[in-house]
Amino acid sequence: MTYQADLFKGKRALVSGATQGIGAIIANHLAALGAQVTAIGLGNGDGTLDAAVEVKQADVTSAASVEAALAPIDRLDIVFNCAGIILRGAEHDLEVFEKVLAVNLTGTMRVCTAVRERLKASGGCIVNTASMLSFFGGGLVPGYAASKGGVAQLTKSLAIAYAADGIRVNAVAPGWIATPLTQALQDDPARAGPILARTPLGRWGTPDDVARAAVFLCTPAASFMTGVILPVDGGYMVT
């Protein structure tokens, strides 16, 4: 724990795409800091979520599903958008490409739109999940790279649009993070070697690395920050 233990006591948080992966770790961090947290996503999770986190089934590609999950929540202070998919080489198929954009980009916009009035009432904040590939293309991931580039520009646009409501909108851009989705890459020295050679800090990131940086954007220390795309990539993008 690197923050004051009761930092978010009395705060209400929503994390999409939080039944597993980085979203689940962010939800756990918020709960550990005193927030009342609802995690929404598909499936029952991978066992990562702490018992203190409320879990609701929701599909960010469906307005009705998102609204149903939000219906019992009358106020929000913090919203994280972590719902995302990556389908690699299949993304060159147009239907797959559109599916990736529907989850990663349109789903982010859908949640932001749905929570705006609740956040306006509290002067709350949104943190979206962009990616290192928001800045670089990826030959095997055209849908993922395009959608995450879209999330970066969406974040900047909503930061402007929502400022009058007192809502801050920022994003984190994770780099090479050690998760089950990247396990095959981690296990292949021929592919992992060049990544680590280019990363000044010389290691893979962890979900905790991303979560701590993301949580910072919700703290009082970041109260004069909006429209920021914060890289959490070990310096990969500056080399």
Residue 15 structure tokens? 């994390």
For the chain, how long is the longest CA-to-CA vector?
Answer: 51
Tell me if residue 94 falls in helix, strand or coil.
helix
Please identify, in words, the CATH class of the domain defined by 12-178+206-231.
alpha beta
201-213 tens-digit pLDDT: 999 999 999 999 9
Mean pLDDT of 103-115: 98
Mean pLDDT of 90-101: 98
Say how far apart CA 171 and CA 64 lie, in whole Å: 25
Domain boundaries in the chain? 12-178+206-231
Tell me if residue 58 falls in helix, strand or coil.
coil
If you average pLDDT over every residue of the chain, what do you get? 96
Active-site positions? 144
pLDDT at 169 over 70: yes
70-82 tens-digit pLDDT: 999 999 999 999 9
Say how far apart CA 101 and CA 7 lie, in whole Å: 34
pLDDT at 1 over 70: no
Query: Looking at residue 116, what is its pLDDT?
Result: 98
This prediction's pTM: 0.96
Query: Looking at residue 17, what is its pLDDT?
Result: 96
pLDDT at 230 over 70: yes
Query: Looking at residue 184, what is its pLDDT?
Result: 86
pLDDT at 121 over 80: yes
Query: Looking at residue 105, what is its pLDDT?
Result: 98
27-68 tens-digit pLDDT: 999 999 999 999 999 987 678 899 999 999 999 999 999 999
Strand partners, 13: 37, 78
